[in-house]
Chains A and B, each alone.
Chain A
Amino acid sequence: MIRFDYFKPQSLEEAFTLKRKHPDARYVAGGTDIMVQIKNREIKPSALISLRNIPELSSIEINGSARIGAAVTIADIAQHPELERIYPVLVAAAKRLGSVQIRNAATIGGNLSNCSPCADTATPLLIMEAKVKLRSPEKTREIPIADFFQGPGKSCLITDEILVEIVIEPPSEKTQTVFLKKGRVKMDLAVASVAVLLEMESSTCLKARLAAGSVAPVPLRLSSVEEMLEGQTITADLIAEARRLAMENVSPITDIRATEEYRRQIVGVYVKRGIEDLLGRSEV
Chain B
Amino acid sequence: MKHEISFVLNGVEMRVRIDEHLRLIDLLRDKLGMTGTKEGCGEGECGACTVLVDGRAVNSCLCPALEIEGKDVVTIEGLRDVENKLSILQTAFVESGAIQCGFCTPGMIMSAKALLDANPEPSEDEIRDSFQGNLCRCTGYVQIIAAVKQAARKLKGSS
Contact = CB atoms under 8 A, between A and B. Distances in A.
Given A36-B43, A104-B58, A6 B132 contact: no
A21 B64 CA distance: 21
Q: How large is the interface on B (under 10, 10 to 19, 20 to 34, 35 or more residues)?
A: 20 to 34
B143 to A, nearest CB: 20
A180 to B, nearest CB: 17
B63 interface: yes
Contacts of A5: 1, 20-21
Contacts of A104: 53, 56-58
B129 interface: yes
Nearest to B107: A101
B106 interface: no
Interface string B61-72: 111101101000
B50 interface: yes
A265 interface: no
Interface string B19-60: 111010000000000000000001110010010010011110
A218 to B, nearest CB: 24
Contacts of B67: 8, 50, 52
B137 interface: no
A101 B24 CA distance: 14
A6 B133 contact: no
Given A32-B44, A186-B132, A187-B132, A101 B64 contact: no
Contacts of B69: 8
Contacts of B47: 99, 101
B105 interface: no
Given A36-B44, A99-B47, A31 B62 contact: yes
Given A6-B64, A35-B62, A101 B57 contact: yes
B57 A100 contact: yes
Nearest to A186: B132
A62 to B, nearest CB: 23
Contacts of A101: 44, 47, 50, 57-59, 111, 133
A-B pairs, 6 with minimum CB distance:
A99-B133, A6-B20, A104-B56, A187-B132, A35-B62, A101-B59
5 contacts: A6-B3, A8-B66, A35-B62, A99-B133, A186-B132
